[in-house]
Amino acid sequence: MSREAQEVAWPHLGKEIFVANWKMNGSLAFVEAYGARLLEQHSTISKKACVVVCSPTPYLKTLRDAVQGAVFLGSQNTATAQSGAFTGEMSANMAADIGCRYGLVGHSERRRLYHENDTIVVEKALRLVEAGVVPILCIGETEEQREMNETAEVLHQQLRHISSLGPTSGLIVAYEPVWAIGTGKTPTPDNVQKTHRIIYEILEEHGLCNVPLLYGGSVTATNAGDFLALKEVQGVLVGGASLKTDEFLQIIQCLDKISQASVHCSLDQ
């Protein structure tokens, strides 16, 4: 795939990525108001930011109409099949048809509550790739695994099938330590930096280079800048804080503050 074709297929190239995961929250009124606010503030969003909103499936079309292309849509979940007798499922083709450019796979809640193992996760990612949708593959360790110093082993395990996606899938990986999701607990920037370096080494072992790596897990407007300032972090996956439109916008605006700080540092040197 040429660079020009990649830029069309993967709007996140060369940008910081901000993903909102609403989980099972919202209403029609909420979606319309949220979309209107994003559209209203679109001109204030940095050109260096790629913004993706993953709403519940029933609201994707409403969100699409509300944002009018101001941000990209993402699916929260898709099936391992593209069609057939799978009552209640949404295929990757359907997600693409409704306007999704991105799709979450492997979120810890899907792994824990719906027993999705690494094989299922990579199958879903493959369906997304086939449909022209960029998979955002979530990985991360539990608190028990962290305390047992098993983080690197767990990440290797979760990424062991990753090479089957191929080098031109537009893949994004999101590191979300399970113990930090919705708990208010967050690793230090130093810990995130070290863990992301481990993940990059794993990806390189599978022949995958230049894969954007996001951090997720209790990301807020207060701490987002600390993570985004790390060269090993190319964006954030935001859960609860993304339900507050203005806080999500503040998280995106952290990018401008970091850029300004970098300019000042360069001038001072």
Active-site choice (12, 107, 109, 141): 107
Compute the average pLDDT of residues 182-210. Answer: 93
What average pLDDT does the chain have? 92
Active-site choice (12, 109, 176, 196): 176
- CATH fold of 3-268 reads TIM Barrel (3.20.20)
Q: What pLDDT digit, counting tens, does each position of 227-240 carry?
A: 999 999 999 999 99
Break the chain into its structural domains and give their ranges.
3-268
Compute the average pLDDT of residues 256-265. Answer: 60
Distance between CA atoms of 120 and 139, rounded to whole angstroms?
13
Q: Is 176 noted as a catalytic residue in this protein?
A: yes
Q: What pLDDT digit, counting tens, does each position of 121-179 carry?
A: 999 999 999 999 999 999 999 999 999 999 999 999 999 999 998 877 799 999 999 99
Give residue for tokens 């660079």. 3
Whether the model clears a pTM of 0.75, i.e. scores above it, the answer is yes
Distance between CA atoms of 151 and 201, rounded to whole angstroms?
14
Q: What pLDDT digit, counting tens, does each position of 51-101 carry?
A: 999 999 999 999 999 999 999 999 999 999 999 999 999 999 999 999 999
